[in-house]
């Protein structure tokens, strides 16, 4: 059989393009190397699947993807964040809006999202071939003739779609095969790099592992120059830091690491208070505590897990009575709380990156329908393309929008 469309990779982009194409009457085969489809989708949003973001302003939404966001203008105007919510709601999945306009299924379970996608694959009679890694793509001049599977089976189609994802979390099946295929077919690949990724610090911060920070400001510095900063939540890991504000800065941090010899991270644990106000606050606390030891004086100001670290770093004798802490010592403490410094060693690798930046160069893809400008019957969708956004549902939206654009 010669299918109208052969789609390589059954993640959200592959599944959704299969559904959209089959719904419009095309015969579609969807090929997946794993024994199950949508494995990565199941771990999105910590198993809850942040389907998209309800940011209402179209331009604001697109701006989240940086310079490459403009590639999405045309496809997004045809299928946007509200359209994907309607799709799931019409299929019986209620959604809810959480902090930062993040949209999740009300059931809080990514399985329900995948279930609906699977139901639609069945409804529109998409042929799904699992356990079938694609090994090679054979072209003749500027047209793909067929693909070859690991078991030597060949599949022919009028058109082919590469939706193999990026290189992050390779255990889910996303091992960067699509980049190799695209490159072999003549496409330029912008170097794939881990993005939305935790960072490793040079210091040993094991004692802080698991400390979760809310409403902090984190800035990245090279020498005395502030390069970027971000406000919100972060968490200490065994060797470094993660959490929303770190993840969202990680792509920039990666660029700075390439450019500068030594970059530092400064945490402001109390961004709502300037140095003077924080000093007043500490003085008030000390007055109330009068004769207590310094080591027992920070309970109201800081999370419990942070206190021993701060006490050690401040250099103030933990057993000193608070009323004998000097102004100089207080200054040191305030400095530590406003500008707690660490050195960044590197980003965590692809194993733990939420997304891959880089990918198929957008200049060689038609933004209206995701068609290759090099190969006549080839399309791309999802993470394999050189477009990525911050956390908050923006990356799955790339999948839904680009998948829907193919026709």
Ligand X SMILES: Cc1cc2nc3c(=O)[nH]c(=O)nc-3n(C[C@H](O)[C@H](O)[C@H](O)COP(=O)(O)OP(=O)(O)OC[C@H]3O[C@@H](n4cnc5c(N)ncnc54)[C@H](O)[C@@H]3O)c2cc1C
Chain residues 153-172 in contact with ligand X, contact rule CB under 6 A: 163-165, 168-169
| Site for ligand X contains 177 (CB under 6 A) | yes
Q: Which residues, in sequence order, are CB contacts of 261 under 8 Å at separation 6+?
A: none
Candidates 259-267, 282-290, 368-376, 391-399 — which segment interacts with ligand X by CB under 6 A?
Answer: 391-399
Q: In what order do the strands lie in the sheet with 52-53?
A: 52-53, 102-105, 95-98
Q: Is 355 in the site for ligand X (CB under 6 A)?
A: yes
Question: Among 237, 395, 401, 404, which residue sits at the site for ligand X (rule: CB under 6 A)?
Answer: 395
**For residue 214, what are the contacts with CB-CB under 8 A and spacing of at least 6?**
232, 233
- Among residues 4, 27, 43, 107, which is the contact residue for ligand X, using CB under 6 A? 43
Q: Rounded to the nearest whole angstrom, what is the least distance from the CB of residue 388 to ligand X in the complex?
A: 8
The answer to whether 382 contacts ligand X (rule: CB under 6 A) is yes
Residues 256 and 194: their CA atoms lie apart, in Å, by: 14
Tell whether residue 11 is a contact of ligand X (CB under 6 A).
yes
Contacting range for ligand X; rule: CB under 6 A; set: 5-13, 85-93, 236-244, 372-380: 5-13
Interaction residues for ligand X, span 113-142 (CB under 6 A): 133-134
Closest by Cα among 406, 307, 302, 349 to 19: 406
- Residue 51 pairs in a beta bridge with none
Q: Determine whether 317 is exposed, middle or buried from the number of CB atoms within 10 Å of its CB (0-12, 13-18, 19+).
A: middle
Query: Is 217 one of the binding residues for ligand X (CB under 6 A)?
Result: no
Q: Which stretch binds ligand X (CB under 6 A): 27-35, 69-77, 86-94, 272-280?
A: 27-35
Residues written for the chain = 407
% helix / strand / coil in the chain, to the nearest 5? 40, 30, 35
- Please tell me whether residue 328 adopts helix, strand or coil conformation: helix
- Exactly one of 34, 74, 115, 230 binds ligand X (CB under 6 A); that residue is 34
Closer Cβ to ligand X, 147 or 340, answer by number: 147
For residue 31, the cross-strand partners are: 8, 129
Interacting residues toward ligand X by CB under 6 A: 8-14, 31-34, 39-41, 43-45, 49-50, 133-134, 163-165, 168-169, 173-174, 177, 354-355, 382-383, 393-396, 399
């Amino acid at each position: 059989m010669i299918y109208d469309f052969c789609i390589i990779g059954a993640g959200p982009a592959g599944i959704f393009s299969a559904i959209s194409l089959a719904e419009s009457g095309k015969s579609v085969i969807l090929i997946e190397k794993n024994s199950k489809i949508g494995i990565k989708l199941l771990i999105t949003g910590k198993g809850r699947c942040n389907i998209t973001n309800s940011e209402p302003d179209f331009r604001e939404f697109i701006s989240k993807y940086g310079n490459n966001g403009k590639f999405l203008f045309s496809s997004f105007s045809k299928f946007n964040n509200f359209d994907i919510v309607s799709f799931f709601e019409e299929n019986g999945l209620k959604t809810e809006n959480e902090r930062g306009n993040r949209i999740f299924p009300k059931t809080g379970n990514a399985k329900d999202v995948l279930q609906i996608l699977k139901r639609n694959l069945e409804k529109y009679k998409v042929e799904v071939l699992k356990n079938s890694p694609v090994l090679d793509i054979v072209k003749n001049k500027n047209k793909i003739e067929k693909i070859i599977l690991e078991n030597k089976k060949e599949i022919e189609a009028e058109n082919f779609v590469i939706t193999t994802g990026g290189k992050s979390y390779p255990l889910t099946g996303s091992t960067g095969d699509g980049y190799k295929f695209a490159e072999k077919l003549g496409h330029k690949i912008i170097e794939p790099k881990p993005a939305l990724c935790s960072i490793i610090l040079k210091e040993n911060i094991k004692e802080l592992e698991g400390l979760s920070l809310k409403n902090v400001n984190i800035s990245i510095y090279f020498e005395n120059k502030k390069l970027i900063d971000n406000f919100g939540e972060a968490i200490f890991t065994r060797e470094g830091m993660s959490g929303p504000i770190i993840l969202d800065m990680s792509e920039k941090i990666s660029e700075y690491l390439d450019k500068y010899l030594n970059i530092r991270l400064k945490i402001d644990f109390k961004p709502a208070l300037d140095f003077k106000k924080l000093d007043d606050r500490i003085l008030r606390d000390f007055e109330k505590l009068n004769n207590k030891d310094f080591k027992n004086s920070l309970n109201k100001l800081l999370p419990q897990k942070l206190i021993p670290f701060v006490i050690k770093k401040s250099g103030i004798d933990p057993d000193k009575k608070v009323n004998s802490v000097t102004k100089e010592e207080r200054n040191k403490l305030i400095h530590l709380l406003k500008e707690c410094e660490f050195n960044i060693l590197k980003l965590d690798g692809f194993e733990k990156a939420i997304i891959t930046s880089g990918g198929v160069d957008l200049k060689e893809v038609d933004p209206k329908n995701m068609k290759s400008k090099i190969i006549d019957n080839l399309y791309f969708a999802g993470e394999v393309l050189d477009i990525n956004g911050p956390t908050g549902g923006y990356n799955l939206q790339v999948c839904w929008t680009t998948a829907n654009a193919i026709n």
